[in-house]
Structure 1
Amino acid sequence: MDLIFQKGSKESPKGHALLYFTNKDNPSEIWGTYIITLPIEVDIKKYMPPFLVNDNNAINSSDFNSFAFPPSPELIGTIENMQDLAELRDEDLIDGGSIDINDSANNMMKINEILSQYLNLYLNNNSKQIEERDEKDPEDTNVNSLMYEFMNVNDRMTELSKLLSKLLFAIENSQDSLISECEKDIESLATFYPMNHKINKIVEYTKIKNKSKIAELYFKRCLYLAKENYEKVEEYEKLIEQQEN
């Protein structure tokens, strides 16, 4: 089955998510767990006593690269509780469907299936981003990309705003070297956004004289898309369409 993201997206999973289920006998009752994929590969045998390693040769370190805790869903309360928690912690939020809360074995199996799917999505997305960065000229890489990687959504949007202001200043003052520098930094930052955020459109209209209004609309569309406020996204898409036509 395809994972149902209530917050976040399968195109760019964060690597950590709140997973919730509804009680099939009481749909208003929400049960949940937390799933995470570790960003660092660990050889678990290094941290086990030798006698345990010898007795557990079949242990695969990859089995410890992701996990769910608690292993069986716990009572959370309402869906609003999960939504608020996901928003507060900037987590992906996944709807796991309905469960029989008395069938612990089946529930644990279902969590593991979802965890496996989530891990695959995360690894596939990660490998694509790495390939895209590796294809670029090594000279284009810079220390900023490392900083961008550890920024949250709000920080990245703030950084994008600063870079666009800097780019506009460089264009208005015909500073070609600064223009090139800004474009490289924005390109580096853009790798952390899905394609549908259309960072390229923001840059494109920023560089065109008398088109700053459209650039601003694309930026606000990107902002609300990053915040997953799809009602606002639709509003700005209509405004963009009016300006472009």
Structure 2
Amino acid sequence: MDLTFERGDANSPRGHALVYFRDNANPDSVAATYLILLPVSVDLQKYIPPFLAGQMPMGGEADLSAFAFPPAPESVESYEYLLSVAEERGDDLIFAGNRPLADAANMMGVIGEILSEYGDRYRIGAPSNPELGGAGDSAGSAETVAPTDYAVDNVVYEMMSEADQLGELTKLTGRLRFAAEGGDEETAGEATAHMRAIAFHVAENRNIDRLIDAALDKSEIGGQLAQLYLERAYALYREDYLRVKALDEDIERTNA
């Protein structure tokens, strides 16, 4: 992702940024969104009334430590306005290129990628803070290479249908298996972080954590289990409970 820091340091972001785009068809048209990386983890469950708590994704693990709002860029009066606001507020100001601004769905995906990269740069630039997962952290496993304190691409995944979420999980599982088998810890860590982010937005009984563990297992059994857990998630989505029962039995036999 080509990000031009017009204000701020690309190697040490502030943790809050105005990101703007120009329209492909009309470069004079400017739209922007705002990125925020919170310095503390936020458990949304604590602030939800008890009668609504059961509707929160993944129970008490619902976390919102990084987000972009609005989720797709909105038009602003001018570049000069953005520059003035960034200077007054002490924000990073980032130019993210010319894009088809009318395509909101595409722009949400682009912003999700930018949020992920901005968060990565922030963590790398803050090695003394273990909460941020900077260079000072140990990197003993694929799961610690890309910390999940931040809800990576949280906004994009939240807006997806479950069918799309499962499709993304399928692609990420293949990427994670390939990276794990090849010893590519960086790619494995990134894939794991994305899968955990999606897990916030699907029902807990989809067993995404077990899917990740199986995908990280380099053995043939690990590959078989990963496929079974994926099929099980799809069967639950289709409400095909006979298939779910059969898959549970297959998983139990494979684990034996």
Structure with the largest fraction of helix: 1
> What TM-score comes out, normalization by structure 2 length?
0.47
State the structure with more CA Rg. Answer: 1
